[in-house]
Amino acid sequence: MAESSILVIDDEQEFVSTLVRRLRKRGWKSEGVLTGGEAILKIAAGGFAVALLDMRLPDMDGSQVLREIMKINPQTRVIILTGHASASEGEEGIRNGAFDYLIKPVEFETLLEKLQAARERSP
């Protein structure tokens, strides 16, 4: 399977389910998980080109998940989603291999643009 799917990683179930439905509606393959552990398993199973990663997860720290993803599949385009209005967390993520970052709350259109950009850059 070509790695074209999008993995949404966030502990807010409402956010994950709505986003996945909206992405699918646009014909984008996508899946959602609520914990860092599930996310790592999914990435390990393969098939995800882009991951949208919330920095606050119940079981793991977002940056830890990012490092794991980069280890398992460095090709994955990770977009960091943070509740902090601070750029520092996102910039640190980029240094650790993330593709880009967004600050919550984010407009759906903006999110789509970033995801699109990530997919296009995908090898």
Q: Interface residues with another protein (CB under 8 A)?
A: 12, 14-15, 18-19, 21-22, 25, 83-88, 103-108
C-beta of 75 vs 110, nearer to another protein:
110
Least Å distance, CB 120 to another protein, is 23
Least Å distance, CB 37 to another protein, is 20
C-beta of 22 vs 29, nearer to another protein:
22
Q: Is 28 helix (H, G, I), strand (E, B) or coil?
A: coil
Which residues, including other chains, have CB under 8 Å from residue 114's CB and lie 6 or more apart?
Answer: 79, 100, 102
Reported as type and span, the H/E element at residue 119 is helix 108-121
Could you give the CA distance from residue 92 to residue 90 in angstroms, rounded to a whole number?
5
Least Å distance, CB 16 to another protein, is 10
- Token look-up 């998940």 returns 65
Least Å distance, CB 103 to another protein, is 7
C-beta of 21 vs 71, nearer to another protein:
21
C-beta of 105 vs 123, nearer to another protein:
105
The answer to whether the CB of 77 falls within 8 A of the CB of 99 is yes
Q: Looking at this protein, which amino acid is placed at residue 67?
A: R
